[in-house]
Structure 1
Amino acid sequence: MTRVSVTGIPQDSGAPVRAGVPEHGRVPKYYAVRILLTELVDGLEEGQTLPTERDLTERFGAARETVRQALRDLLLEGRLRRRGRGTVVAGPKLAQPLSLASYTEGVRRQGLRPGRTLVDLRSWPCPAALAEELDLSEGEPVWHMERVLWADDERVGLESTYVAVARVPGLSSDFDPDSSFYAFLHERVGITFADADERLETVLATPREALLVGTPPALPMLLIHRVSRDGNSRPFERVRSLYRGDRFSFTARLSGAGPGPA
């Protein structure tokens, strides 16, 4: 069955999620413009430039601020991105698996070139909370390695890794910070991860983080906390990974018997 909302946009009532129009059909003006703008974007190719704000206000018969709000929504959603002084259609989000696979593997699977830029690598005394997570003594030296994450030529995240100096004493001299840390551990140190605990949440970047990743502070970010364990079930690393919410989604394969969701 097809219904037409008050905006004149056809909506498939059998779709998994309707287009955001409530049953009473009354929507804010910016959302009506957003629906029309989404239809326009769907008809363009990745990288194509949108008409100017002035052209869009004339096309949709809406105020410029109304158009700007609709554009901000699609920018935050990752459908659009800024290029110079214009706005272009963005490509699909990077689908990163929630698994023990490294960031490098996940990005390469999607045909993109992973990269990292080292921000900081130093050792410092382990604080009490981190020592408890990594089963270390308080004050024991730990490495802190912070790197900006890239996919092709685009900054997409920020990663902080904490690991005991005693377990990777040559990290600062032997490791190429633009390479996979997991590959280094496996090939050079002989450590393989067995399992990990992860927690995923949404946050806003701090001004410093936004500057490093190259995003507005108001852009929602996806934050993953991970504690990984080695083959002896010993905690090995603590990672804080911050990903752009407009460029990333995460996938997981679930299995098991029993009734489905209620």
Structure 2
Amino acid sequence: METTPAPAPPAAALTEPVGSPDAPVRSGVPEHGRVPKYYTVKAAVEELVEGMAEGSVLPTERELAERFGVARETVRQALRDLLLQGRLRRSGRGTAVAGPKLAQPLSLRSYTEGVRRRGQVPSRTLIGLERRPAGEALGARLEIGAGEAVWHMERVLLADEERVGLESTYVPAARFPGLDTGFDPDSSFYAYLRRQGVRLAEGEERIETLLATPREALLIGTPPALPMLLLNRLSRDADGTPVEHVRSLYRGDRFSFTTALREEP
């Protein structure tokens, strides 16, 4: 990997994205003071992006390589990092400036409600809705017997018509026998629950990072190497009975999650 001493990078690479008080501690500079060339180019491109509107197309890799005096592969690595971070996105015309990430609150709200609160239009594409027997692990989570019927609903999540995630919902079929005929899969499942007289009172959520499987990446429309955020949620009603188990996979370059923290008494 190409490296250069910290004092020597081009001036454009040592501007606000690296030295800003809002930047991460030491701006990623290792203790030995030597910075990979791609990182200084990345910082310079970040500064360039700051002055560009969302959707604006960056100069080509060749133009950036000439501007910063580095190899095209060095530019390519810098752009790859910014794509993974969600600062840039691929477009038909090249590499463009991406919009801000969707900040989704961690709460007992549906994806639909959360995206609407951000001022965007949510939608979903149904991949499949099937009745199947629960395995031992799923049955234990939903507190039903192994082999009892559950509905499995899989949907691609969209925001402003952009694919941003994949959601799998499991609910006991005995509790929702008419799900396949009474629910519009493009609508909020939580709104459907309220119409059925079910109120969610509490939930447990676990967040992990992982890479999507080839099938998941194809459905979401992302490269397999793009990091994903995986959320597993178990929701309960006011009686403490499990209502749903949801596995949601979100694009790491388009989503972040927020929560409010308070001191426990």
State the TM-score bracket (shorter-chain normalisation).
over 0.9
Could you tell me which residue of structure 1 aligns to residue 97 of structure 2? 89
Counterpart Cα distance in 1 of 2:81 and 2:122: 28
> Which of the numbers 249, 258, 261 marks the counterpart of 1:254?
261
User: How far apart are 1:16 and its partner, in Å?
Assistant: 5.3
1:246 match: secondary structure: coil
Match of 1:74 in 2: 82
* Shift in Å, 1:5: 4.6
What's the CA shift for 1:68?
A: 0.3
1:240 aligned residue (226, 235, 247): 247
In the other structure, the counterpart of 1:124 is 132
Shift in Å at residue 13 of structure 1? Answer: 5.8
User: Structure 2 CA distance, aligned partners of 1:241 and 1:140?
Assistant: 23
Distance in 2, matches of 1:14 and 1:146, equals: 40
1: CA distance, partners of 2:39 / 2:162: 29
Q: Secondary structure at the match of 1:62?
A: coil
Q: Which amino acid aligns with 1:223?
A: L
The 2-side partners of 1:216 and 1:107 are apart by 23
- AA partner of residue 204 (structure 2): D
The residue number in structure 1 matching 2:3 is none
Report deviation, 1:85.
Answer: 4.3
Alignment TM-score, normalising by the size of structure 2: 0.92
Please tell me whether residue 194 in structure 1 is matched to residue 201 in structure 2: yes
Work out which of the residue numbers 128, 131, 144 in structure 2 matches 1:136: 144
Contact kept, 8 Å, 2:217 with 2:224, in 1: the verdict is: yes
Deviation (angstroms), 1:6: 3.5
Could you tell me which runs of 5 or more consecutive residues in structure 2 were left unpaired when the two chains were aligned. 1-5
> Does 2:38 align with 1:20?
no
- Is 1:58 paired with 2:66? yes
Q: Is the 8 A contact 1:97 1:250 kept in 2?
A: yes
Instruction: Specify the alignment match of 1:150 in structure 2.
Output: 158
Q: 1:190 to 1:98 in 2, by over 3 A?
A: same
Contact 1:194 1:230 in 2 (8 A): yes
User: Normalization by structure 1: what TM-score?
Assistant: 0.93
Helix, strand or coil for the counterpart of 1:59? helix
Count, aligned residues: 254
Q: Secondary structure at the match of 1:133?
A: helix
Closer, same or farther in 2 for the Cα pair 1:15/1:30, shift >3 Å? closer
In structure 1, how many angstroms separate the alpha carbons of the residues matched to 2:50 and 2:27? 14
> Per-residue CA shift, 1:105-139, capped at 9, x if unaligned?
11111110000000010001111110000000111
Kindly indicate whether residue 117 of structure 2 is the aligned counterpart of residue 106 of structure 1. Answer: no
Matched, 1:210 2:226: no
Aligned with 1:112: secondary structure? coil
1:115 to 120, 123, 141: 123
Secondary structure at the counterpart of residue 18 of structure 1: helix
* 1:152-191 equivalent positions in 2, closer than 5 A: 152-187=160-195, 189-191=196-198
Deviation, 1:24, is 3.7
Letter in 2 for 1:52: T
Cα distance in structure 2, aligned partners of 1:138 and 1:257: 37
What CA distance in whole angstroms lies between the structure 2 residues aligned with 1:57 and 1:16? 26
Q: CA RMSD in A?
A: 1.5
Q: Does the 8 A contact of 1:50 with 1:86 survive in 2?
A: yes
Structure 1 residues 13, 248: closer, same or farther in 2, change over 3 A?
A: closer
Q: Partner of 1:70: helix, strand, or coil?
A: helix
Q: Which of 21, 30, 44 is equivalent to 1:36?
A: 44
- In 1, are the aligned partners of 2:57 and 2:93 still within 8 Å (CA)? no
Query: 1:27 aligns to what SS in structure 2?
Result: strand
Alpha-carbon distance in 1 for matches of 2:200, 2:94: 44
Distance in 1 separating the partners of 2:71 and 2:138: 52
Contact 2:61 2:75 in 1 (8 A): yes
In 2 relative to 1, CA 80–257 (structure 1 residues): closer, same or farther, beyond 3 Å? same
Secondary structure of 1:169's match? coil
Give the whole-Å Cα distance in 1 for the aligned partners of 2:245 and 2:58: 42
1:98–1:252 contact (8 Å) kept in structure 2: yes
Match of 1:230 among 212, 233, 237: 237
